[in-house]
Amino acid sequence: MINENKKKSTSNGQLYVVATPIGNLNDISLRALEVLQQVALIAAEDPRHSQKLLAHFNINTPLTALHEHNEIKRSHDILSQLLQGKEIALITDAGTPLISDPGFYLVREARAEGVTVTPIPGPTALITALSVSGLPVDRFVFEGFPPAKPIKRQHYLQTLREEMRTLIFYESPHRIMHLLTDLAAIFGADRYVVIARELTKLYETIHGDQVQQLRQWLAAQPQQQQGEFVVIVQGAKHIMDKTELDEQAIATLKILLAELPLKQAVKLAAAITGEKRNVLYDYALQDVNKSI
């Protein structure tokens, strides 16, 4: 029986959200195979694509398509089958469903209807890339695909320029050079970036450098511009490294910090100097931490 430990007594069927490999078929889990073998139906982003994976493991479970163009209607069909007590698995072309992939609507509605939704964990490109990037992993943000249109992408990157956590993007081979060009222009040529290409596949490449150099390295090798990419960007350095505050503002803040609680000192410093309260606050926090 599937997932015996977790199976709850419910007449509302069960939806399994099953991660599949992002390249190397050996990355499928034993639990994923067991579930895919035993469910009544598999909802797949592209049944023809998934058929190859299933055939490789001799799995003959019927498939139905659930992709971005039929997601809502097909989710309702699947939901009604779940509510009749069926066990159904959701998979996508690669990696973990819902992560830049279809499935959100189905999972949300299934949970709302009281269907048990069980994750079968496995590969996802962003975590695979992050784990080998050498960039901080304690705090990170996943941004999915940046906008495709140049102006929209540039505005969007502007909003992320000051983000201090490690940033993770997905990008297509057609736009990888454009993204690196915009990153160099907006985040600065010296921002450190790692590209993780064709992970778990034959031509897997993980390469990091300052974004301007990385861009040149990639431009010189058209064959490296093919395939699938995760782009990992170092977070913005702390405000203190950037000397964004002028000396007078820092001096004012320090005098106030010596006499007042942090919040009050920041509030007054903002009123006196006209600097942004959050910038002063970040500086004050670092200053206090340094002196502990």
Does position 133 interact with ligand SAM (CB under 6 A)? The reply is no
- One residue of 34, 46, 162, 198 binding ligand SAM per CB under 6 A: 198
Q: Count interface residues toward ligand SAM (CB under 6 A).
A: 24
Number of Cβ atoms within 10 Å of the Cβ of 179 = 23
- One residue of 18, 82, 218, 230 binding ligand SAM per CB under 6 A: 230
Closer CB to ligand SAM, 57 or 203, in the complex: 203
- One residue of 172, 216, 226, 278 binding ligand SAM per CB under 6 A: 172
Strands (E), the chain: 14-18, 41-44, 63-65, 87-91, 116-120, 140-142, 166-171, 192-197, 205-210, 229-233
Q: Tell me the window of 119-127, 236-244, 264-272, 279-287 that interacts with ligand SAM (CB under 6 A).
A: 119-127
Nearest one of 168, 138, 122, 153 to 29, comparing CA atoms: 122
Closer CB to ligand SAM, 99 or 236, in the complex: 99
Nearest distance from residue 271's CB to ligand SAM, in Å?
46
Nearest distance from residue 170's CB to ligand SAM, in Å?
3
Closer CB to ligand SAM, 91 or 245, in the complex: 91
Cα of 230 vs its chain's centroid, Å: 9
Nearest one of 220, 227, 221, 236 to 160, comparing CA atoms: 236
Nearest distance from residue 223's CB to ligand SAM, in Å?
15
Contact code string over 10-49 relative to ligand SAM, x by CB under 6 A: ------------xx--------------------------
Q: State the amino acid at position 203 in one-letter form.
A: Y
- One residue of 94, 110, 218, 236 binding ligand SAM per CB under 6 A: 94
Question: How many whole angstroms separate alpha carbon 183 and alpha carbon 61?
Answer: 45
Contact code string over 98-117 relative to ligand SAM, x by CB under 6 A: -xxx----------------
Does position 131 interact with ligand SAM (CB under 6 A)? The reply is no
Question: How many whole angstroms separate alpha carbon 56 and alpha carbon 138?
Answer: 37
User: What are the tokens at 286?
Assistant: 């670092």
Strands 14-18 and 87-91: parallel
Does position 252 interact with ligand SAM (CB under 6 A)? The reply is no
Q: Can you state the percent helix, strand and coil of the chain, rounding each to 5?
A: 45, 15, 35
Question: How many whole angstroms separate alpha carbon 66 and alpha carbon 56?
Answer: 21
Q: Tell me the window of 28-36, 53-61, 224-232, 233-241 that interacts with ligand SAM (CB under 6 A).
A: 224-232
Number of Cβ atoms within 10 Å of the Cβ of 285 = 14
Residue with tokens 């590969």: 123
- One residue of 50, 53, 54, 95 binding ligand SAM per CB under 6 A: 95
Beta-bridged to residue 197, according to DSSP, are 205, 229
Binding site for ligand SAM (CB under 6 A): 22-23, 92, 94-96, 99-101, 124-126, 170-172, 196-201, 228-230
